[in-house]
Amino acid sequence: MIEFSEQFISIKINAGEGTGREIAERYNINGVPQMVFVNNNEDEIDRIIGYRKPEDFIVRVQDILDGNNTLPDLQSRLTSDPQNNEIISALASKYVEMGNDEGATELYEKLLANSTGDVSEEINGARYYLAMKKFYDGDKGPIESFIKTYPSSDYVYEAYSKVSRFYASEKDTENEIIVLTEWSNKYPNDYSALNAFAWRMTELDTQLEEALVKVRHAVSLLDDKPDTQANIIDTEAEVLWKLGRIDEAVEAIEKAIKISPDYQYFQDQKTKFLESA
């Protein structure tokens, strides 16, 4: 890995301040870790978002060195074969990663025009992207239609997650609760959706009885994953505390502490519960 990296001039920046912030804005860096590969003209060639295992990272970077499926490669191939859906989809995905909404929108619209009646996940991804773009522009009709029309698509789950977070950021509590309720009801055996509903209800101090039912089911789904289960038990404890059931809240958080005894947050939760008794 170290030897492989010597083929590049590597620069690490703090995207939150000074020159690093300017570079991050220039290349639309919206999360870390993220690696942007540029040529000697500082034009982007490709990027890798998030962590990858060394063996996977080397394979991906070797492709970038060889010019396979990079931004320039895909742009050149699309020029030669403008109706190739595989290339259109791959390049649109690159544009999404780069934050090039205009380029992604144009390509996804073209992809849908070429794929009438296609309900594959690749095409659903295009539908989802365009629907969410309109949602952020104030038109929630397309994403609601997408959820109803393609209920089995994996993108529906992502849609509920993003839409609920958007409503939370806008302090639109009424619509946020509607979406969280629909999300957790549609995925009754998904611990993340159940926990998202329950924890948010503790923050909003509403529908706590329903939150307790859902979070307890989430806990039961994780018997084989104790580390994850501990965090969901914490939500259960918080719901119980909000309901004024202090002894039960303490009992619940002690279960989480038993799983993760060195996690100070759980200890602080127990102290909070006891001091409120």
Distance (Å, whole) CA 277 – CA 274: 5
Query: Residue 138 corresponds to which tokens in the numbers above?
Result: 């104030």
CA 209 to chain centre: 28
**If DSSP codes are grouped into helix, strand and coil, which group holds residue 222?**
coil
Element (H, E) at 77: helix 71-80
What's the chain's Rg over C-alpha atoms? 23
Q: What is the percent of the chain where pLDDT is above 90?
A: 82
CA-to-CA distance for 269 and 238, rounded, in angstroms?
8
Taken in order 24, 29, 33, 38, the sign of the CA dihedral is: negative
pTM here?
0.85
| pLDDT tens by residue, 194-247 | 999 999 999 999 999 999 999 999 999 999 999 999 999 999 999 999 999 999
**DSSP state letter for 70:** -
DSSP state of 36: E
* 17-67: pLDDT as tens digits: 888 889 999 998 888 889 999 998 999 999 999 988 988 988 999 999 999
In the chain, count H helices and then E strands: 15, 2
Residue 123 sits at φ, ψ, to 5 deg, of -75, -35
